[in-house]
Amino acid sequence: MVKKIIIESQWKTDPKFNDWAAEAVREFTELFPEFRDKFVIEDRKCHKPRGSVISEEKFNNLPDDAEKKLYVRLKNGRYLVPYQSTDWYVQQARLATNGRELDASVLSGLRLRHAQETNSTDIVIMLANSKFKPFCFGYGLEGYTSSISTSACRDKDFFKNIIKHELGHVFRATYAERSNIVEALGEHCTNPDCIMEKYTPDFTKHLNRPIEKPFCDECLESMREYMGNLPELKKTVSLTNDNASLPPAEEKKDDAWKKPLRDHFSAAVAKDGSHYAENTEAKNYQAQLRETDGTVTNIEASSPKHIAMSAVNKNGQVITPDLKKFRDIVQYARKNKMAIELGSIKTAEYRARLVLACLTETPPMEITNMPPLDDAFFDGVSPDIKAQILAQRQKPSPEKTAGFPDLPRGGGRS
């Protein structure tokens, strides 16, 4: 799973703003090396895709329903299709304020509402050509979206710093329950050297240059904690039975990254009285776990978090690994404080055994991309495994444990 950050701009926006925004987002994600490979940046310059504008004739032929009322008529007689372009959001935000002003909170709120209606978890940065009223450079909503005025942010360094500031709001750098916070057009940091400081004339001067350390330690820690609890950014072990789907191994100076895998699986085999063999010459971690009955389980990993597991019986026929082997994988993930991600899995039985191994852990192991346990999931699953999974579903849910608190949705202007 990945966390997508989308940069959208109005039609005819100078492409340099998208480039600057992408540069700022990359610099922002580099502040969190533990999550960096989970972020994907999608740049939608002058976002007006095919089909986002229709002719008056097509508009007149639409059914007279609530959806039709959301279309926005342009001066040339054509119509903007709802939710399909940045220009539509901008025009709708203007209509919400009698067509005269562009309120950044309304603009971001429209994008938030659509994200919630479509169950989207993408972060969207909208670049609007107009200045905002009430005046601000940008507006960020926790967990979802931010709006930036290109008219108010003409300087590259200033623009990039505003992007980072609004991303701070999106990723909950500041919130009401935190220390060293002041309420001023949203929660802001009281540290004068932090980019999350409230808006003042001195604040704007501070942003007119590259900033080597934009966030204070407290804001960084707040965002790190927030990111660590997002499903898309959780540290995961991705398990597959398709070795070809493993991503290429990263270039490493040595094989030290293999040690946690080696230690875990060699210890697990030792408990069973089985035999452990490792190909230490291979670039990937490769191990064979041979049982006394001749069954061989093959483990291959291109990194500590990308693992392939398969098995053959004593006759060399491909079989689904024993449930205990899946539990070994789950325990490896728990030991290393990672959740489980279902990778590219070719068989229903394999997927079901991994899910069962997670459900029967104490406490149950989290699966970040848990599929619905419906008829399609159980198609091809053995009756015994299906019965065990259904039995786990019928158990009462454990009480909510202490951990990350329910988060209020916040926002902030800069």
Q: List, for residues 287-299, the tens digit of each pLDDT value.
A: 999 999 999 999 9
Between CA 40 and CA 3 the distance in angstroms is: 6
**Do 347 and 330 have their domain in common?**
yes
Is residue 283 a part of any domain in this protein? yes
pLDDT band at 399 (very low <50, low <70, confident <90, very high): very low
Is residue 166 a contact partner of residue 138, using CB atoms and an 8 Å limit? yes
**Do 94 and 190 have their domain in common?**
yes
**Do 306 and 354 have their domain in common?**
yes
Is residue 402 a part of any domain in this protein? no
pLDDT band at 413 (very low <50, low <70, confident <90, very high): low
Q: What is the pLDDT of residue 410?
A: 57
Q: What is the pLDDT of residue 254?
A: 82
Is residue 175 a part of any domain in this protein? yes
* Cα 295–Cα 320–Cα 243 angle in degrees, nearest 5: 95
**Do 11 and 149 have their domain in common?**
yes
pLDDT higher than threshold 80 for residue 397: no
pLDDT higher than threshold 80 for residue 401: no
DSSP label at 118?
T
- Residue in this structure with the two tokens 């950050």, named with its chain if needed: 5
Instruction: Among 231, 259, 287, give the residue marking a domain's end.
Output: 231
Peptide bond into 363 cis (omega under 30): yes
**Do 35 and 23 have their domain in common?**
yes
pLDDT band at 135 (very low <50, low <70, confident <90, very high): confident
CATH code assigned at 7: 3.40.390.10
Is residue 410 a part of any domain in this protein? no
Contacts 24+ apart (CB under 8 A), 10-13: 10/46, 10/47, 10/86, 10/87, 10/90, 10/127, 10/128, 10/129, 11/46, 11/47, 11/48, 11/85, 11/86, 11/87, 12/46, 12/129, 13/45, 13/46, 13/127, 13/129, 13/150
Is residue 408 a part of any domain in this protein? no
pLDDT band at 387 (very low <50, low <70, confident <90, very high): very high
Instruction: Give, in order, the Cα–Cα distances in Å from 340 to each of 237, 242, 288, 337.
Output: 5, 16, 22, 10
Going by DSSP bridges, is the β-strand pair 187-189/236-240 parallel, antiparallel, or unpaired?
unpaired
Cα diameter, the chain: 79
Between CA 146 and CA 115 the distance in angstroms is: 13
Q: What is the pLDDT of residue 231?
A: 81
**Do 69 and 212 have their domain in common?**
no
pLDDT higher than threshold 60 for residue 219: yes
Q: What is the pLDDT of residue 204?
A: 77
CB half-sphere exposure, 79, CA atoms < 13 A: 17
Q: Tell me the residue range of the domain where 296 lies.
A: 235-394
Q: What is the pLDDT of residue 396?
A: 58
**Do 170 and 202 have their domain in common?**
yes
Instruction: Determine the 3-state secondary structure of 230 from DSSP.
Output: coil
Element holding 406 (H helix, E strand): none
pLDDT band at 140 (very low <50, low <70, confident <90, very high): very high
Q: What is the pLDDT of residue 205?
A: 78
Is residue 352 a part of any domain in this protein? yes
**Do 127 and 172 have their domain in common?**
yes
**Do 328 and 390 have their domain in common?**
yes
- Split into its structural domains, the chain has a count of 3
pLDDT higher than threshold 50 for residue 358: yes
Beta bridge partners of 72: 80
Across the range 353-358, mean pLDDT stands at 97
Across the range 171-180, mean pLDDT stands at 93
**Do 100 and 77 have their domain in common?**
no
Q: Which two tokens stand for residue 242?
A: 């398709």
**Do 278 and 292 have their domain in common?**
yes
pLDDT band at 335 (very low <50, low <70, confident <90, very high): very high
**Do 126 and 257 have their domain in common?**
no
Beta bridge partners of 148: 127, 138
Instruction: Determine the 3-state secondary structure of 141 from DSSP.
Output: strand
Residue 160's closest CA among 292, 28, 351?
A: 28
Is residue 123 a part of any domain in this protein? yes
Instruction: Among 198, 231, 264, give the residue marking a domain's end.
Output: 231
Q: What is the pLDDT of residues 59-84, one digit of tens each?
A: 999 999 999 999 999 999 999 999 99
% of residues, the chain, pLDDT over 90: 73
Q: What is the pLDDT of residues 96-124, one digit of tens each?
A: 877 778 999 899 999 999 999 998 999 99
pLDDT higher than threshold 50 for residue 232: yes
Q: Is 153 exposed, middle or buried (0-12, 13-18, 19+ CB in 10 A)?
A: buried
Is residue 411 a part of any domain in this protein? no
- Residue in this structure with the two tokens 């190909």, named with its chain if needed: 279
Average pLDDT, the chain: 90
Between CA 211 and CA 407 the distance in angstroms is: 29
Is residue 369 a contact partner of residue 396, using CB atoms and an 8 Å limit? no
Q: What is the pLDDT of residue 337?
A: 87
Peptide bond into 371 cis (omega under 30): no
pLDDT higher than threshold 60 for residue 283: yes
Q: What is the pLDDT of residues 244-267, one digit of tens each?
A: 889 888 777 688 999 999 999 999
Q: What is the pLDDT of residue 406?
A: 31
pLDDT higher than threshold 50 for residue 403: no
Across the range 40-57, mean pLDDT stands at 92
